[in-house]
Structure 1
Amino acid sequence: MAGRITKSEEQLKPDPKFKDKVLSRFINCIMQDGKKSVAQRVVYDAFDEIEKRTKGKPEAIEIFHMALDNVRPSVEVRSKRVGGTNYQVPMQVNKKRQQSLAFRWIITAARADRGKPMAQRLARELLDASKGEGKAMNTRDQTHRMAEANKAFAHFAW
Protein backbone atom coordinates (compact mmCIF):
# COMPACT_ATOMS: atom_id res chain seq x y z
CA MET A 1 0.00 0.00 0.00
CA ALA A 2 1.67 3.16 -1.20
CA GLY A 3 1.85 6.22 1.03
CA ARG A 4 1.47 4.20 4.20
CA ILE A 5 3.09 5.72 7.27
CA THR A 6 5.81 3.51 8.70
CA LYS A 7 7.30 3.39 12.16
CA SER A 8 10.88 3.65 10.90
CA GLU A 9 11.38 6.92 12.78
CA GLU A 10 10.37 5.32 16.08
CA GLN A 11 12.28 2.09 15.44
CA LEU A 12 15.56 3.82 14.62
CA LYS A 13 17.97 3.40 17.51
CA PRO A 14 20.68 5.98 18.21
CA ASP A 15 24.22 4.95 17.32
CA PRO A 16 26.11 3.18 20.14
CA LYS A 17 29.02 5.63 20.47
CA PHE A 18 27.51 9.13 20.23
CA LYS A 19 23.82 8.33 20.98
CA ASP A 20 22.76 10.36 17.93
CA LYS A 21 19.82 9.33 15.71
CA VAL A 22 20.94 11.42 12.73
CA LEU A 23 24.32 9.71 12.80
CA SER A 24 22.57 6.35 13.05
CA ARG A 25 20.60 7.11 9.88
CA PHE A 26 23.83 8.24 8.17
CA ILE A 27 25.49 4.93 9.11
CA ASN A 28 22.50 3.11 7.61
CA CYS A 29 22.98 5.08 4.39
CA ILE A 30 26.70 4.20 4.28
CA MET A 31 25.90 0.52 4.84
CA GLN A 32 26.13 -1.82 1.87
CA ASP A 33 24.87 -5.43 1.68
CA GLY A 34 23.53 -5.22 5.25
CA LYS A 35 27.02 -4.95 6.77
CA LYS A 36 26.28 -2.48 9.53
CA SER A 37 29.40 -3.16 11.60
CA VAL A 38 31.58 -2.33 8.59
CA ALA A 39 29.64 0.90 8.03
CA GLN A 40 30.00 1.83 11.72
CA ARG A 41 33.73 1.17 11.60
CA VAL A 42 34.08 3.38 8.51
CA VAL A 43 32.15 6.27 10.11
CA TYR A 44 33.90 6.01 13.49
CA ASP A 45 37.33 5.78 11.82
CA ALA A 46 36.41 8.88 9.80
CA PHE A 47 35.47 10.64 13.04
CA ASP A 48 38.83 9.62 14.57
CA GLU A 49 40.57 11.04 11.49
CA ILE A 50 38.61 14.29 11.88
CA GLU A 51 39.59 14.47 15.57
CA LYS A 52 43.26 14.02 14.57
CA ARG A 53 43.13 16.72 11.90
CA THR A 54 41.27 19.28 14.01
CA LYS A 55 43.04 18.41 17.27
CA GLY A 56 39.62 17.85 18.94
CA LYS A 57 38.33 21.42 18.51
CA PRO A 58 35.47 21.31 17.46
CA GLU A 59 34.50 17.68 18.05
CA ALA A 60 33.88 15.31 15.15
CA ILE A 61 30.14 15.04 15.81
CA GLU A 62 29.85 18.84 15.67
CA ILE A 63 31.76 18.91 12.37
CA PHE A 64 29.41 16.20 11.06
CA HIS A 65 26.36 18.31 11.92
CA MET A 66 27.97 21.49 10.49
CA ALA A 67 28.70 19.62 7.25
CA LEU A 68 25.09 18.42 7.04
CA ASP A 69 23.74 21.92 7.67
CA ASN A 70 25.98 23.36 4.94
CA VAL A 71 25.12 20.71 2.35
CA ARG A 72 21.33 20.73 2.90
CA PRO A 73 19.54 22.28 -0.11
CA SER A 74 16.65 24.67 0.49
CA VAL A 75 15.28 24.54 -3.08
CA GLU A 76 15.45 22.06 -5.93
CA VAL A 77 13.99 21.81 -9.41
CA ARG A 78 11.27 19.31 -10.24
CA SER A 79 10.04 18.49 -13.69
CA LYS A 80 6.41 19.48 -14.39
CA ARG A 81 4.55 18.77 -17.59
CA VAL A 82 2.35 21.70 -18.60
CA GLY A 83 0.60 21.79 -21.97
CA GLY A 84 2.88 19.25 -23.61
CA THR A 85 6.09 20.93 -22.43
CA ASN A 86 8.29 19.92 -19.53
CA TYR A 87 9.38 22.75 -17.24
CA GLN A 88 12.02 22.64 -14.51
CA VAL A 89 10.07 24.19 -11.65
CA PRO A 90 11.91 25.34 -8.49
CA MET A 91 10.29 24.03 -5.29
CA GLN A 92 11.01 24.14 -1.57
CA VAL A 93 12.54 20.98 -0.11
CA ASN A 94 11.06 19.51 3.07
CA LYS A 95 13.30 18.71 6.06
CA LYS A 96 13.41 14.94 5.58
CA ARG A 97 14.35 15.23 1.91
CA GLN A 98 16.98 17.90 2.74
CA GLN A 99 18.62 15.45 5.11
CA SER A 100 18.49 12.52 2.70
CA LEU A 101 19.90 14.62 -0.16
CA ALA A 102 22.73 15.87 2.07
CA PHE A 103 23.54 12.27 3.09
CA ARG A 104 23.45 11.10 -0.52
CA TRP A 105 25.66 13.91 -1.82
CA ILE A 106 28.29 13.49 0.91
CA ILE A 107 28.42 9.69 0.48
CA THR A 108 28.52 9.91 -3.32
CA ALA A 109 31.34 12.46 -3.19
CA ALA A 110 33.32 10.29 -0.76
CA ARG A 111 32.82 7.14 -2.86
CA ALA A 112 33.80 8.90 -6.08
CA ASP A 113 37.26 9.81 -4.73
CA ARG A 114 39.16 6.56 -5.34
CA GLY A 115 42.52 5.40 -4.05
CA LYS A 116 42.23 5.88 -0.29
CA PRO A 117 40.33 4.02 2.42
CA MET A 118 36.68 5.04 2.69
CA ALA A 119 37.14 6.40 6.23
CA GLN A 120 39.77 8.89 5.03
CA ARG A 121 37.67 9.93 2.03
CA LEU A 122 34.61 10.42 4.23
CA ALA A 123 36.60 12.41 6.80
CA ARG A 124 37.96 14.69 4.09
CA GLU A 125 34.52 15.25 2.56
CA LEU A 126 32.95 16.01 5.95
CA LEU A 127 35.73 18.47 6.80
CA ASP A 128 35.42 20.16 3.41
CA ALA A 129 31.62 20.37 3.70
CA SER A 130 31.88 21.86 7.19
CA LYS A 131 34.09 24.62 5.71
CA GLY A 132 31.65 25.18 2.82
CA GLU A 133 33.71 23.56 0.08
CA GLY A 134 34.11 20.15 -1.56
CA LYS A 135 32.15 18.07 -4.08
CA ALA A 136 28.98 17.81 -2.00
CA MET A 137 28.86 21.60 -1.64
CA ASN A 138 29.36 21.96 -5.41
CA THR A 139 26.36 19.69 -5.98
CA ARG A 140 24.26 21.82 -3.62
CA ASP A 141 25.41 25.04 -5.30
CA GLN A 142 24.54 23.62 -8.74
CA THR A 143 21.07 22.69 -7.48
CA HIS A 144 20.54 26.19 -6.12
CA ARG A 145 21.85 27.76 -9.35
CA MET A 146 19.48 25.63 -11.41
CA ALA A 147 16.55 26.70 -9.23
CA GLU A 148 17.58 30.35 -9.54
CA ALA A 149 17.86 30.06 -13.34
CA ASN A 150 14.37 28.56 -13.59
CA LYS A 151 12.71 31.02 -11.21
CA ALA A 152 10.52 32.23 -14.09
CA PHE A 153 8.63 28.92 -13.96
CA ALA A 154 7.91 29.11 -10.22
CA HIS A 155 4.25 29.92 -10.93
CA PHE A 156 3.82 26.32 -12.18
CA ALA A 157 4.49 24.99 -8.67
CA TRP A 158 1.12 23.92 -7.37
Structure 2
Amino acid sequence: MSFRSAVSLRRLATSAAQARAAIGPSAPVSAPEAGLGGFSTIRDLLATPSSSSSSSSQTPAAAFPPGSTSPSQIPSDKPTIRGYSPTSLPPTVDPTLDLLTNCLMKDGKKSEAQKMVSSILSLLHQATNLPPQPLVRQAILLSSPSIKILSMRKSAKTVLAPRALTERQRSRQGVAWLLKAAEKGRKGGVSRDQRIAREVLAVLEGNSDVFKWLEERHKIAYLNRSNMTAR
Protein backbone atom coordinates (compact mmCIF):
# COMPACT_ATOMS: atom_id res chain seq x y z
CA MET A 1 0.00 0.00 0.00
CA SER A 2 1.31 3.37 -0.97
CA PHE A 3 1.65 6.29 1.40
CA ARG A 4 -1.05 8.34 -0.38
CA SER A 5 -3.71 5.59 -0.14
CA ALA A 6 -2.92 5.05 3.55
CA VAL A 7 -3.48 8.75 4.26
CA SER A 8 -6.83 8.72 2.43
CA LEU A 9 -8.05 5.67 4.38
CA ARG A 10 -7.06 7.32 7.65
CA ARG A 11 -9.04 10.46 6.71
CA LEU A 12 -12.13 8.37 5.89
CA ALA A 13 -11.92 6.57 9.23
CA THR A 14 -11.55 9.86 11.10
CA SER A 15 -14.58 11.40 9.35
CA ALA A 16 -16.65 8.28 10.04
CA ALA A 17 -15.79 8.40 13.73
CA GLN A 18 -16.72 12.10 13.97
CA ALA A 19 -20.07 11.56 12.22
CA ARG A 20 -20.83 8.57 14.46
CA ALA A 21 -20.15 10.70 17.53
CA ALA A 22 -22.49 13.43 16.21
CA ILE A 23 -25.34 10.95 15.60
CA GLY A 24 -25.06 9.27 18.98
CA PRO A 25 -22.79 7.02 20.89
CA SER A 26 -25.40 4.32 21.38
CA ALA A 27 -26.02 3.69 17.67
CA PRO A 28 -24.84 0.14 16.75
CA VAL A 29 -22.33 -0.37 14.02
CA SER A 30 -22.75 -3.42 11.82
CA ALA A 31 -20.04 -5.17 9.92
CA PRO A 32 -21.13 -4.05 6.43
CA GLU A 33 -21.29 -0.44 7.63
CA ALA A 34 -17.81 -0.70 9.07
CA GLY A 35 -16.51 -1.68 5.68
CA LEU A 36 -18.13 1.31 4.01
CA GLY A 37 -16.00 3.80 5.91
CA GLY A 38 -17.15 7.41 5.65
CA PHE A 39 -20.00 6.65 3.21
CA SER A 40 -22.02 4.89 5.93
CA THR A 41 -22.56 8.25 7.59
CA ILE A 42 -24.11 9.67 4.42
CA ARG A 43 -26.39 6.65 4.15
CA ASP A 44 -27.55 7.07 7.77
CA LEU A 45 -28.36 10.73 7.23
CA LEU A 46 -30.37 9.99 4.09
CA ALA A 47 -32.19 7.02 5.61
CA THR A 48 -33.43 8.81 8.79
CA PRO A 49 -35.24 12.02 7.79
CA SER A 50 -37.80 11.62 10.56
CA SER A 51 -35.30 12.21 13.32
CA SER A 52 -33.99 15.39 11.75
CA SER A 53 -37.51 16.67 11.02
CA SER A 54 -38.67 15.94 14.55
CA SER A 55 -35.70 17.71 16.03
CA SER A 56 -36.22 20.72 13.75
CA SER A 57 -39.93 20.85 14.60
CA GLN A 58 -39.19 20.79 18.30
CA THR A 59 -36.59 23.54 18.12
CA PRO A 60 -39.02 26.57 17.75
CA ALA A 61 -41.23 25.28 20.58
CA ALA A 62 -38.28 25.35 22.98
CA ALA A 63 -37.77 29.04 22.24
CA PHE A 64 -41.11 29.91 23.93
CA PRO A 65 -41.51 29.88 27.73
CA PRO A 66 -43.71 27.19 29.29
CA GLY A 67 -46.53 29.64 30.08
CA SER A 68 -46.63 31.31 26.64
CA THR A 69 -48.47 30.26 23.46
CA SER A 70 -46.52 29.19 20.42
CA PRO A 71 -47.63 30.29 16.94
CA SER A 72 -48.75 26.75 16.10
CA GLN A 73 -51.19 26.79 19.05
CA ILE A 74 -52.88 30.09 18.08
CA PRO A 75 -56.35 29.41 16.60
CA SER A 76 -56.72 30.51 12.98
CA ASP A 77 -60.50 31.06 12.89
CA LYS A 78 -60.17 34.64 11.59
CA PRO A 79 -58.11 35.36 8.46
CA THR A 80 -55.06 37.54 8.84
CA ILE A 81 -55.72 41.11 7.63
CA ARG A 82 -52.74 42.77 6.05
CA GLY A 83 -52.50 46.51 5.49
CA TYR A 84 -55.42 48.92 6.00
CA SER A 85 -59.03 47.82 6.03
CA PRO A 86 -61.75 50.02 4.44
CA THR A 87 -63.12 50.89 7.89
CA SER A 88 -59.80 52.29 9.08
CA LEU A 89 -59.37 54.67 6.15
CA PRO A 90 -60.51 58.28 6.66
CA PRO A 91 -63.79 59.19 4.96
CA THR A 92 -63.57 61.05 1.67
CA VAL A 93 -65.03 64.53 1.14
CA ASP A 94 -68.71 64.53 0.20
CA PRO A 95 -68.78 65.87 -3.38
CA THR A 96 -72.27 67.35 -2.96
CA LEU A 97 -71.39 69.30 0.19
CA ASP A 98 -68.07 70.34 -1.34
CA LEU A 99 -69.92 71.71 -4.39
CA LEU A 100 -72.39 73.55 -2.15
CA THR A 101 -69.47 75.03 -0.19
CA ASN A 102 -67.78 76.25 -3.37
CA CYS A 103 -71.02 77.87 -4.57
CA LEU A 104 -71.45 79.68 -1.24
CA MET A 105 -67.82 80.83 -1.09
CA LYS A 106 -67.08 84.49 -1.75
CA ASP A 107 -63.68 86.13 -2.22
CA GLY A 108 -61.92 82.82 -1.54
CA LYS A 109 -63.12 82.62 2.09
CA LYS A 110 -63.81 78.92 2.18
CA SER A 111 -63.78 78.64 5.98
CA GLU A 112 -66.81 80.97 6.22
CA ALA A 113 -68.61 78.93 3.55
CA GLN A 114 -67.89 75.72 5.46
CA LYS A 115 -69.29 77.26 8.64
CA MET A 116 -72.46 78.21 6.76
CA VAL A 117 -72.84 74.67 5.38
CA SER A 118 -72.42 73.29 8.91
CA SER A 119 -75.09 75.70 10.15
CA ILE A 120 -77.45 74.61 7.35
CA LEU A 121 -76.96 70.95 8.24
CA SER A 122 -77.55 71.71 11.92
CA LEU A 123 -80.80 73.55 11.16
CA LEU A 124 -82.05 70.70 8.97
CA HIS A 125 -81.26 68.18 11.70
CA GLN A 126 -83.11 70.25 14.31
CA ALA A 127 -86.15 70.67 12.04
CA THR A 128 -86.50 67.07 10.88
CA ASN A 129 -84.55 64.99 13.43
CA LEU A 130 -83.04 63.12 10.46
CA PRO A 131 -79.53 62.90 9.00
CA PRO A 132 -79.14 66.20 7.09
CA GLN A 133 -76.71 65.13 4.36
CA PRO A 134 -79.18 62.83 2.51
CA LEU A 135 -81.75 65.63 2.64
CA VAL A 136 -79.38 68.09 0.96
CA ARG A 137 -78.41 65.53 -1.68
CA GLN A 138 -82.05 64.74 -2.46
CA ALA A 139 -82.99 68.43 -2.68
CA ILE A 140 -80.13 69.14 -5.11
CA LEU A 141 -81.04 66.07 -7.17
CA LEU A 142 -84.66 67.24 -7.46
CA SER A 143 -83.52 70.75 -8.42
CA SER A 144 -81.10 69.61 -11.13
CA PRO A 145 -82.15 69.82 -14.80
CA SER A 146 -81.07 67.25 -17.34
CA ILE A 147 -80.38 69.62 -20.25
CA LYS A 148 -79.26 73.12 -21.08
CA ILE A 149 -80.44 75.45 -23.85
CA LEU A 150 -77.97 77.02 -26.25
CA SER A 151 -78.76 80.00 -28.49
CA MET A 152 -77.24 79.56 -31.94
CA ARG A 153 -77.30 81.54 -35.17
CA LYS A 154 -78.52 79.58 -38.18
CA SER A 155 -79.60 81.05 -41.52
CA ALA A 156 -79.82 84.61 -40.14
CA LYS A 157 -82.04 83.58 -37.23
CA THR A 158 -81.61 82.44 -33.64
CA VAL A 159 -82.09 78.75 -32.95
CA LEU A 160 -82.49 77.16 -29.49
CA ALA A 161 -80.57 73.91 -29.29
CA PRO A 162 -80.90 71.64 -26.23
CA ARG A 163 -77.80 69.86 -24.98
CA ALA A 164 -77.39 67.17 -22.34
CA LEU A 165 -75.56 67.98 -19.11
CA THR A 166 -73.02 65.91 -17.22
CA GLU A 167 -73.65 64.87 -13.64
CA ARG A 168 -71.54 67.66 -12.17
CA GLN A 169 -73.13 70.26 -14.47
CA ARG A 170 -76.58 69.11 -13.40
CA SER A 171 -75.65 69.36 -9.72
CA ARG A 172 -74.06 72.76 -10.27
CA GLN A 173 -77.22 74.11 -11.91
CA GLY A 174 -79.40 72.57 -9.18
CA VAL A 175 -77.35 74.30 -6.45
CA ALA A 176 -77.53 77.61 -8.35
CA TRP A 177 -81.32 77.40 -8.64
CA LEU A 178 -81.63 76.38 -5.00
CA LEU A 179 -79.61 79.40 -3.86
CA LYS A 180 -81.54 81.66 -6.23
CA ALA A 181 -84.87 80.51 -4.84
CA ALA A 182 -83.58 81.07 -1.28
CA GLU A 183 -83.00 84.80 -1.98
CA LYS A 184 -86.72 85.67 -1.87
CA GLY A 185 -86.70 85.99 1.93
CA ARG A 186 -83.67 88.25 2.14
CA LYS A 187 -85.64 91.45 2.75
CA GLY A 188 -87.38 89.95 5.78
CA GLY A 189 -84.18 89.95 7.83
CA VAL A 190 -83.78 86.15 7.81
CA SER A 191 -80.19 84.93 7.79
CA ARG A 192 -78.89 83.17 4.71
CA ASP A 193 -78.34 79.77 6.32
CA GLN A 194 -81.95 79.73 7.55
CA ARG A 195 -83.25 80.71 4.13
CA ILE A 196 -81.28 77.93 2.43
CA ALA A 197 -82.43 75.37 5.01
CA ARG A 198 -86.06 76.43 4.47
CA GLU A 199 -85.62 76.18 0.71
CA VAL A 200 -84.20 72.66 1.01
CA LEU A 201 -87.29 71.61 2.96
CA ALA A 202 -89.53 73.40 0.42
CA VAL A 203 -87.90 71.46 -2.43
CA LEU A 204 -88.42 68.19 -0.59
CA GLU A 205 -92.07 69.10 -0.03
CA GLY A 206 -92.54 70.16 -3.68
CA ASN A 207 -93.40 73.82 -2.93
CA SER A 208 -90.33 75.55 -4.36
CA ASP A 209 -90.00 77.84 -7.38
CA VAL A 210 -87.27 75.55 -8.65
CA PHE A 211 -89.86 73.20 -10.15
CA LYS A 212 -91.29 76.05 -12.28
CA TRP A 213 -87.86 76.69 -13.77
CA LEU A 214 -87.35 72.96 -14.34
CA GLU A 215 -90.66 72.60 -16.15
CA GLU A 216 -90.01 75.67 -18.27
CA ARG A 217 -86.56 74.49 -19.39
CA HIS A 218 -87.73 70.99 -20.23
CA LYS A 219 -90.68 72.40 -22.14
CA ILE A 220 -88.40 74.62 -24.26
CA ALA A 221 -86.10 71.66 -24.89
CA TYR A 222 -89.05 69.53 -25.98
CA LEU A 223 -90.29 72.16 -28.43
CA ASN A 224 -86.81 72.56 -29.93
CA ARG A 225 -85.80 68.88 -29.91
CA SER A 226 -85.31 69.00 -33.70
CA ASN A 227 -82.33 71.31 -33.19
CA MET A 228 -80.38 68.92 -30.99
CA THR A 229 -77.99 68.11 -33.86
CA ALA A 230 -77.53 71.74 -34.88
CA ARG A 231 -73.97 73.02 -34.78
- Tell me the TM-score normalised to structure 2 length: 0.55
1:109 pairs, out of 153, 173, 181, with: 181
Give the structure 2 partner of residue 39 of structure 1. 113
Q: 5 Å matches for 1:107-146?
A: 107-114=179-186, 115=188, 116-146=190-220
| TM-superposition CA deviations, 1:8-63 (whole Å, max 9, x none) | xxxxxxxxx9941321121111011222222122221111111122122xx11000
Does residue 159 of structure 2 align to residue 87 of structure 1? yes
Cα pair distance change 1:18/1:155, threshold 3 Å: closer
Q: Return the match for 1:65 from 119, 137, 140.
A: 137
Q: Give the corresponding residue for 1:20.
A: 94
Moved over 3 A (4+): 152-155
**1-structure distance, mates of 2:215, 2:127:** 26
Larger relative contact order (CA 8 Å, sep ≥ 6): 1
Report the counterpart of residue 170 of structure 2 in structure 1. Answer: 98
Residue equivalent to 1:49: 123
Q: CA separation in 2, counterparts of 1:128 and 1:142? A: 19
Contiguous gaps of at least 5 residues in structure 2 = 1-90
**Bigger strand fraction:** 1
- 8 A Cα contact 1:64 1:130, kept in partner: no
Larger radius of gyration: 2
Aligned residues of 1:43 and 1:122 also touching (Cα < 8 A): no
2:224 aligned with 1:150: yes
Show structure 1 runs of 5+ residues with no match.
Answer: 1-16
Distance 1:82 1:75 in 2: 21
Partners of 2:92 and 2:112 lie apart in 1 by 17
Give the structure-1-normalised TM-score.
0.77
* Number of residue-to-residue matches in the alignment: 139
Secondary structure of 1:65's counterpart equals: helix
What secondary structure does 1:134 align onto?
coil
Aligned-pair identity in percent equals 25
**1:22 partner letter:** T
Contact 1:128 1:134 in 2 (8 A): yes
* Structure 1 vs Structure 2 CA RMSD: 2.1
Question: Contact 1:64/1:126 (CA < 8 Å) preserved in 2?
Answer: yes
Name the SS for the 2:228 alignment partner: helix
Counterpart CA distance in 2 for 1:99 and 1:131 is 19
